[in-house]
Structure 1
Amino acid sequence: MELRINRRALIGLGVAAALTASSFALLRTDAGTASSHREAPMIAGDPRNDNTDVYAFVSPDRADTVTLLANWIPFQEPNGGPNFYPFDTRSRYNIKIDNDGDARPDITYQWTFRDEDRRGTSTFLYNNGPVTSLDDENLLFRQRYTLKRITRHGVRTLVSNGVVAPSDVGPASMPDYATLREQAVHGLSGGGKAFAGQADEAFFLDLRVFDLLYGGNLSEVGQDTTKGYNVNSLAVQVPAADLALRGDVRRNPVIGVWSTTDKWSPRGYTQVSRLGNPLVNEVVSPAGLKDAFNALPPAKDADVAALVKRVTDPELPKLLEAVYGIKAPATPRADLVEIFLTGVAKGNGPIAADLNSQTLNKDAGKLRPAEMLRLNMTVPPAKDPNRLGVLAGDLQGFPNGRRLGDDVVDIELQALAGAATSGKLVAALTDKVDHNDKPILRSFPYIPLPSGVAVNQR
């Protein structure tokens, strides 16, 4: 199928959404910024607080556990010294879980960081010799962290003096970075694990979607824009029962997951980043909502008419029709409400499947629609994962959680074009970047080791 641009239709297409006064009041732009790879105006100047991706999946090698992983600080050039890429010591980094469907966090895993800097006025170097362990005296700058588990019953410290895997300075400085990664995996009581440190940017895509949707004729595809860059990752692996409502995975198999960053200011901590499903704020939200969306707690999503409208009447299908002639599905899009706001269940909308809505939890109350990544923890790991996830019959893949190998760009393009209800894929509708350039690791935290080659040398 050859797709050609219809420039006249594109010029005539109205794509701006008006904000009502009440909606704008709920979306206070002074309170927050955005996440997902610098896609909002304000967060572009604050990369240490920019939350780029969230992953949630049943651990492939420990099927009774769930791995939650979130990334920050996008587009890290491997040779970005001398300061490299530390976490912000004045921020709180959170992964939040809603297991009863009220759109409020029932469990929060929260990381805070502190610097250990021995350079003083004597050197500019990150290290002054080869670093072979996390406590190596040659490592002059390191970060330590505290990890807490917060519930309505109280706060429990899981890790009090964890060491962050450092930025990978290079092979002369860190000849065996895999060992440093391994040492940075911290065991938790009850059989869990935690990690904080640098990693390869596992999100793969061609970002030229913003040039009139891949050049207007799909000629600008096949280039992994994030190839070679690194991120900072935070991850926990815990028994599924630790996340399930009332600790009962069989009765209450579904959780909702999102991450946030709380930044310190004279007014106290303020949420400046929020991320659940990939690309929501990047592609679904218009420019006028991007900064404000990430200050909003999920419990208020359903109150913002302008935000809900961007799901029920999204912009991208109209652009696909204008540019490529792919007919946009009829609105309102109840299928997208299921994918992004309620989870997929037979009682929620037109997608005829019980998959990942908290309405499937027998002990849950009334569901409040909210944007978050939802995972059914009873779906076992796929023996042969398919990059297109649920659309290809692989029920462990996105939008049922998100694995590191899920091709979320292609999945969301197809879903926005109507594939979740029609069952039909548009073969040409792809960015032709099907996988990351580095393989997923077989053990926690699974995300590949950081790249050590300058991006402009690739």
Structure 2
Amino acid sequence: MKKGAVSALLVAAAVALAVVWGPSPEGGTASSHREAPAISEDPTADNTDVYAFRSLDKPDSLTIISNWIPAEDPGAGPMYYEFSSNARYYIYIDKKGDGGKPDIAYRFTFRRSEPVAFLRTTVQRYTVTRIANGRKRVVARGTTPPNNVGPRFLETNFGTADYRAIAAQRVTPLNGGGTVFAGQREDAFYADIGAIFDLLAFRRGTGITGGGKDFFAGYGVHGIALQIPISSLNDDDGIVGVWASTERPVLQVRAGAHNRRRTTSDRAPAFAGRHVIRRQKWVQVSRLANPLVNELIIPTASKDRWNALPPGRGDRPFLRFVEEPILAALINQLYPGVINAPEKNRDDLVSVFLTGVEGLNKQVEPSRGADLLRINLGIPPTPANEVNRLGVLGGDLAGYPNGRRLEDDVIDIAEQAVAGALKGNPNAKLLGDGVDSGDRPSLGFFPYENDPFSGFVNSKGNCERGTEEVGGQNATCP
């Protein structure tokens, strides 16, 4: 291929990836961090990751975790990160698998925190509403823990600098069975995005040999964790699909005499001396199930539209981008004769992202495909010492794409899948970003994602550099 054609392909791939790492407190990228133009300007509504798994300590339950607000800097005061009080956060469960009307929805709404001195406590009250069979029922009212501002802030306002103890007190039971937690967490996602989005410019010695740089080390997110008894799902085949979304209010305004109509998510326009009709409705602005779909598959011009559509109906127009992924062509151009990724007829990727994998967690045919994170609840959790970070590709059927655990290396899995691992391409296993685990291990108990780093230490994952004594408390990374 001529150099010009290769350059055009690289530009197209860059546009398709369309992810920018920003230095501001609202910055961040991949797995689904800042994946579309509009949502990159609305971080408190931005879904970053969704996880679904059976845990070793509660194997009779389904745990679902959804995160929002990418790349939270632990020291980003005084207006520390919070869930938006002007948004609705959802976690859905679909037993049919076609992305239509979900069987069960959990809706989360938050209040603003109270100010303290020149800061704010970041403790938010929230309400959980369960929606099923046309009925809405409040199943929990809880409070978030504060952000991990620092040991002096915690000691002064909460009586202890032990952040884990504070967070444990905010785990709340669900009426009807189950448990919920909402608040700041350490971001479990890990990746060398500096290399990935420099057009797969992997560092020397990376791939499957390690040596990559985890650009998410030391950063946080705001997460919602649900733990639900499997028996309460009443699912016949034991396979469910999961996704999450965010809604924002939209205000429609009409001025009678002027016959003007505007739609805004901010304040209503002023129409002096005229009768104004206002109507508020809620619209979806973000959604997420499988990691990396919007980044790597959906064209940039359609990313915002995809975010606003429900799974299923919103996915089928983009089927051809799954069947002929531009990333496969890019891999072949960047590594000619090395990987040989199949570029067309990618029914294997359709099964991963839209239908479920045959013999594992398949729910629907491609004509009814939907981007859902599917999990076969009949497969038990893998013992901790036997977990394979490559999930199903590594022979561990309890990992992605059968649900997703906090430990699953979705970057390497996605790269190898696009390169044809599920089609038997032996060269696919050469791909990887060289980051094989996060900077902190997950917890062995609910809510599983680890505590956020201390804003006082602000170590970006380097705990030794931040160790210091403050008010008798050791402020090293917890």
TM tier, smaller: 0.7 to 0.9
Q: Give CA deviations for 1:112-152 in whole Å, capped at 9, x if unaligned.
A: 00124254xxx3133xxxxxxxxxxxxx4521000011112
* Worse-superposed segment, 199-208 or 6-15: 6-15
Report the Cα distance in structure 1 between the residues aligned to 2:75 and 2:57, rounded to whole angstroms: 33
Q: SS of the counterpart of 1:242?
A: helix
- Specify the alignment match of 2:247 in structure 1: 262
* Worse-superposed segment, 45-54 or 217-226: 217-226
Letter in 1 for 2:7: I
Report the Cα distance in structure 2 between the residues aligned to 1:300 and 1:242, rounded to whole angstroms: 28
Alignment check: 8 A CA contact 1:50 1:273 kept: yes
Report the Cα distance in structure 1 between the residues aligned to 2:58 and 2:70, rounded to whole angstroms: 29
- Specify the alignment match of 2:119 in structure 1: 125
Residue 13 to residue 82, structure 1, CA distance change in 2 (3 Å): closer
- The answer to whether residue 418 in structure 2 is matched with residue 416 in structure 1 is yes
- Deviation, structure 1 residue 190: 4.1
Q: SS of the counterpart of 1:97?
A: strand
Residue 144 to residue 367, structure 1, CA distance change in 2 (3 Å): farther
Letter in 2 for 1:322: Q
- Specify the alignment match of 1:434 in structure 2: 436
Q: Give me the TM-score of the superposition, normalised by structure 1.
A: 0.82
- Specify the alignment match of 1:166 in structure 2: 146
Alignment check: 8 A CA contact 1:101 1:367 kept: no
The count of corresponding residues between Structure 1 and Structure 2 is: 401
Residue 295 to residue 218, structure 1, CA distance change in 2 (3 Å): farther
- The answer to whether residue 166 in structure 2 is matched with residue 180 in structure 1 is yes
Q: SS of the counterpart of 2:430?
A: coil
Letter in 1 for 2:88: R
- Specify the alignment match of 1:349 in structure 2: none
The one of 157, 174, 194 equivalent to 2:180 is 194
- Specify the alignment match of 2:292 in structure 1: 279
- Specify the alignment match of 2:312 in structure 1: 299
Residue 151 to residue 35, structure 1, CA distance change in 2 (3 Å): farther
- Specify the alignment match of 1:113 in structure 2: 110
The one of 320, 326, 330 equivalent to 1:319 is 330
Letter in 2 for 1:450: P
- Specify the alignment match of 2:212 in structure 1: 222
Report the Cα distance in structure 1 between the residues aligned to 2:166 and 2:62, rounded to whole angstroms: 23
Consecutive unaligned residues of structure 1, counting only runs of 5 or more, are 1-5, 18-33, 127-139, 346-353, 360-364
- Deviation, structure 1 residue 272: 0.5
Q: Give me the TM-score of the superposition, normalised by structure 2.
A: 0.79
Give the 5 Å matches for 1:242-257: 242-243=232-233, 247-248=234-235, 251-257=236-242
Report the Cα distance in structure 2 between the residues aligned to 1:98 and 1:232, rounded to whole angstroms: 24
Alignment check: 8 A CA contact 1:317 1:328 kept: yes
- Specify the alignment match of 1:136 in structure 2: none
Q: SS of the counterpart of 1:398?
A: coil
Report the Cα distance in structure 2 between the residues aligned to 1:415 and 1:287, rounded to whole angstroms: 22
Report the Cα distance in structure 2 between the residues aligned to 1:414 and 1:171, rounded to whole angstroms: 43
Report the Cα distance in structure 1 between the residues aligned to 2:388 and 2:46, rounded to whole angstroms: 29
Alignment check: 8 A CA contact 2:316 2:370 kept: no
- Deviation, structure 1 residue 420: 1.0
* Worse-superposed segment, 88-97 or 286-295: 286-295
Report the Cα distance in structure 1 between the residues aligned to 2:301 and 2:143, rounded to whole angstroms: 39
Letter in 1 for 2:458: A
Letter in 1 for 2:323: T
Aligned sequence identity (%)? 46
Consecutive unaligned residues of structure 2, counting only runs of 5 or more, are 14-29, 155-160, 253-280, 463-478
Residue 404 to residue 425, structure 1, CA distance change in 2 (3 Å): farther
Alignment check: 8 A CA contact 2:74 2:219 kept: yes
Report the Cα distance in structure 1 between the residues aligned to 2:375 and 2:175, rounded to whole angstroms: 24
- Deviation, structure 1 residue 409: 0.3
Report the Cα distance in structure 1 between the residues aligned to 2:202 and 2:319, rounded to whole angstroms: 29
- Deviation, structure 1 residue 240: 1.0
Q: SS of the counterpart of 1:412?
A: helix
